[in-house]
Each structure stands twice: as structure tokens, then as C-alpha cells.
Amino acid sequence: MIMPTITDITPRGSGGRRERKVTIDGERILTITEETFLRFGLFDGQAMDPERLQEVELADGVSRAMTEAHRLIDHRMRTRRELAVKLKSRGRPDEVIDQVLDRLEHAGLIDDGRFAQLWIDERLRRRPAGLSLLRRELRQKGIDAEVVETALEESASGEGETERAYEVLRRQSHRYARLDRDAAHRRMVAFLGRRGFGQAVIYQVVHRVLDEIEEFRN
């Protein structure tokens, strides 16, 4: 059986974008990164069995996808799922994506737990919300449920939930000052519900703010 053979290697590009155009049997052309070329030590006249060719193509795909992933996380921190979706949209196969994400996780460059904690801190600073809304938004980002719960316990649980709800509602209390107590109660409950606070917290905080409004009126 005659093995496919490299019949030509032509350099392309310059600087950090150097590539090699590798021709197999004068027909098939592979364009690979300089990193892949050096890693496999390819040379003109080298025999390349199908398994070796497949290995080179996979490694080159990983190299290119890794570069893309680094650019994405240099821009901002991302979850594993966010990166997977981005790489998939750029035509990277699942096998390549899994290798890239595993390497990035091993290097600590993607960390869903850390992402969740930082995201919660920023979300609460910018627009406070209740646990259920935070949980839902993090799950929508593809973060594992157990990781989400750990992050919520560390960053947004306990008495802080009640105080956050109180501050959120207190800042909006002027909207309800002219309403009768029942109407104000209904709207306050609905408002805090949309912001993801639990029922026990909502009713405690709503009664507290309603009492403050009545005290101010008197």
C-alpha cells in the first residue's frame, strides 16, 4: 500500500500568524499553523498514513480554537458553556472544543465557580435581585446547578436577602405612597417577585415598608 506523501511545504503569513501550506500527493492541501507544523516535525517527502493526517488536523484545529478562546477570555471572563457556544458558532467540532475547554480549565483560565461569584457581586452592586432570579440567570449561562448554589451561599444568602429586598423596595416606595394599603401591597409583592425574592422575604419587607409609609403620612 502506497502511503500518502508530503510533496510540498510552503510558508504563509508572518509574525504570529505564520502558517504552512502542506500539499499531500500533489493534490490535497492542508493549511496548518506554525505551531502544528513544528510540533509534528513535518518535512517534504514524509509519508503520512491516514491516522497521522487525522492527528495533525485535530491538533491544528485545537491550536486554532485555543487562540480563538484566548481572545474571547482576554476580552472578558466567560463560562465554559459560553466559550463552547462561541467556538461551535465558528465551526469548531465538539472533539476540538472539549480539548480546548479542558485545557483552559486545567490552567485555571475558565472557572465557573469563580465566574459565578464575581457575576453575583457585580449583579448585586449594579441591580440588586433575589436568589431565585440570580439562580435563573446563572443557570441560563450554563453554569452547573451545584456550582450556582455554592456561589449563592457564599455571596448572596442569609440575612442579606431581606436587607437587599428592603433597600430595593424602599427606593421605589414613592411610587406607592399615594395608593391605599391593599393596592400598594399588591404592587409591591408583584415588584419584588419579579426581582426574584422569595415569598417569606417579600411579605416581611412589604409590611415593613407599608408601615413606614403610613408612619410618614401620620
Question: Which pLDDT band holds residue 161 (cuts at 50, 70, 90)?
Answer: confident
Angle, vertex CA 183, rays to CA 182 and CA 189, nearest 5: 90
Question: Which pLDDT band holds residue 157 (cuts at 50, 70, 90)?
Answer: low
**What's the whole-model pTM score?**
0.77
Under DSSP, the state recorded for 174 is G
pLDDT in tens, 71-120: 999 999 999 999 999 999 999 999 999 999 999 999 999 999 999 999 99
Amino acid at 117: Q
Question: Which pLDDT band holds residue 159 (cuts at 50, 70, 90)?
Answer: low
Helix (H, G, I), strand (E, B) or coil at 2: coil
pLDDT at 218: 64
Q: Which three cell numbers stand for residue 165?
A: 429586598
Kindly state the average pLDDT of the residues 54-74: 95
CATH number attached to the domain at 6-106: 1.10.10.10
Kindly state the average pLDDT of the residues 61-70: 95
**Exposed, middle or buried, 184 (CB in 10 Å: 0-12/13-18/19+)?**
buried
Spatial distance between the Cα atoms of 147 and 82, rounded to a whole number of angstroms: 16
- Domain limits of the chain? 6-106, 112-155, 160-217
